[in-house]
């Protein structure tokens, strides 16, 4: 039980530090948060509309037409096909409060690391290469299922940064698991 708890904490720390590096310095995800000098104008216009906070895809037909598929497709072709579109994530209030968000993120990272340890215990790979391979496979599956499928549909600009997120820290987790499990096996 101590090994699981230790791996969860150390693995969570690895994931947490990697996320900081990936999004802060060297900021592999910078393309997904580009600056535009039009930001103040755009934000003011959006705020004046009274738009509810949320995530929107701009350039799609009215969902009220969903019952009439042909009409919905015709509206899309007439109004939106070949024209600009955007994904908008709108919040009414910006805050720099990060304390609880960081705590929650670290707890999630520890839980994810624990799940990986449990998977490795069930699979029982014995070599460093196989443990790292399993860990990287888990991270890469997460990348393919989430960010990469999002890239297929929405062409997110930081998809390759997410791929690095799905490989690099997971290789470290596999190495850590090997170190801890090897010690456990030696004590058995």
Q: For the whole prediction, is pTM greater than 0.85?
A: yes
Q: What is the pLDDT along the chain (188 residues), one digit of tens a residue?
A: 899 999 999 999 999 999 999 999 899 999 999 999 999 999 999 999 999 999 999 999 888 888 989 989 998 999 999 999 999 999 999 998 999 999 999 999 999 999 999 999 999 999 999 999 999 999 999 999 999 999 999 999 999 999 999 999 999 999 999 999 986 666 66
pLDDT of residue 183: 67
Using CA of residue 8, residue 13, residue 14, residue 18, what is the dihedral sign? positive
Report the candidate in 173, 123, 135 with the shortest Cα–Cα distance to residue 14. Answer: 173
pLDDT of residue 85: 94
Distance of CA 24 to the CA centre of its chain: 15
pLDDT of residue 66: 86
pLDDT of residue 188: 62
């Amino acid at each position: 039980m101590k090994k699981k708890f230790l791996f969860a904490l150390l693995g969570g720390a690895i994931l947490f530090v990697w996320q900081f590096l990936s999004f802060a310095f060297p900021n592999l995800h910078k393309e997904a948060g580009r600056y535009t000098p039009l930001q103040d104008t755009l934000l003011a216009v959006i705020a004046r509309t009274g738009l509810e906070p949320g995530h929107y895809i701009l350039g799609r037909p009215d969902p009220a037409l969903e019952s009439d598929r042909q009409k919905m497709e015709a509206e899309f072709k007439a109004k939106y096909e070949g024209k600009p579109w955007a994904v908008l994530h709108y919040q009414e209030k910006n805050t720099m409060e990060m304390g609880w968000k960081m705590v929650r993120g670290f707890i999630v990272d520890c839980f994810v690391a624990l799940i990986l340890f449990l998977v490795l215990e069930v699979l029982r790979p014995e070599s460093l290469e196989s443990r790292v391979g399993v860990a990287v496979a888990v991270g890469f599956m997460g990348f393919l299922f989430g960010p990469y499928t999002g890239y297929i549909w929405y062409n997110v600009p930081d998809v390759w940064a997410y791929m690095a997120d799905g490989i690099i820290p997971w290789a470290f987790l596999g190495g850590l698991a090997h170190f801890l499990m090897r010690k456990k096996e030696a004590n058995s």
